[in-house]
Amino acid sequence: MARGLQIRDEESGYNKNLFCIPKHYEEDLERVFIPHGLILDRTERLARDIMQDMGSHHIVALCVLKGGYKFFADLLDRIKALNQNGDKSVPITVDFVRIKSYCNDLPTEEISIVGEELSTLSGKNVLVVEDIIETGRTMKALLSKLRDNEPKMVKVVSLLIKRTHRSPGYRPDYIGFEIPDKFVVGYALDYNEYFRDLNHICILKEKAKEKYRI
């Protein structure tokens, strides 16, 4: 079973004043939960694991927008470095799919999937790159659509997975960090489109949820 770097339930993160935080967000954040440097180090190891498993065939990397774009870019940079410096290399092409399943901090009933023509993935080795998995409901809906198009292989990597009672137990093939059931933002994870421009993954103050609520 895939394992990520486990962050314990009692972990509160780091004093935000020890990090570079954009001025416009300073009053909105409780703590820095996962620093940017740690994200990049973990991403480098995930790239190595993925190449060990999938590095013998052409890979189609499928980015789940919008929250996955930063992780996707950094992960592909590290896979590209392995391609350039390793004993073997494989071609990697990219594709994008956009999924909307949240309003404010609550999941919506409807899952909207918009993207490229998924039929082009038929017979391909597909790596789905996601930012965060909570219940797994969204990912299961996407995987069902992908499998309708008969790809040769589908693997899923998620930067974060939440330990939550709402999860039926779905786990991706590769996990960056396993985190407690906290609402986090930053590193392209948003709250109503805000906080994507924050380098670190941070815990949001409750009053900030009201400030940015739609």
Per-residue pLDDT of 51-96, as tens digits, reads: 999 988 899 999 998 889 999 999 999 999 999 988 878 899 999 9
DSSP 3-state helix, strand, coil percentages of the chain (rounded to 5)?
30, 35, 35
pLDDT reported for residue 165 = 81
CA distance 153 to 121: 10
Q: Among candidates 113, 105, 104, which has minimal Cα distance to 137? A: 113
Report field, pTM of the whole predicted structure over 0.85:
yes
Spell out, as residue ranges, where the chain has pLDDT lower than 50.
Answer: none
**CB neighbours of 37 closer than 8 A, spacing ≥ 6?**
none
Distance CA 57, CA 67 (A): 27
Looking at residue 141, its pLDDT comes to: 86
What residue type is 174 in one-letter code? Y
Quickly list DSSP for the chain: ----EE--TT---B-GGGS---GGGTTTEEEEEE-HHHHHHHHHHHHHHHHHHHTTS-EEEEEEETTTHHHHHHHHHHHHHHHHHSS----EEEEEEEEEEEETTEEEEEEEEEES-GGGGTT-EEEEEEEEESSSHHHHHHHHHHHTT--SEEEEEEEEEE--TT--S---SEEEEEE-S--EEBTTB-BTTBTTT-SSEEEEPHHHHHHT--
Question: Looking at residue 115, what is its pLDDT?
Answer: 63
For residue 94, list its beta bridge partners: 61
Q: What residues contact 117, with CB distance under 8 A and at least 6 apart?
A: none
Domains of the chain: 5-212 (3.40.50.2020)
The tokens describing 92, both together, are: 């990697």
**Which amino acid does the sequence have at 164?**
T
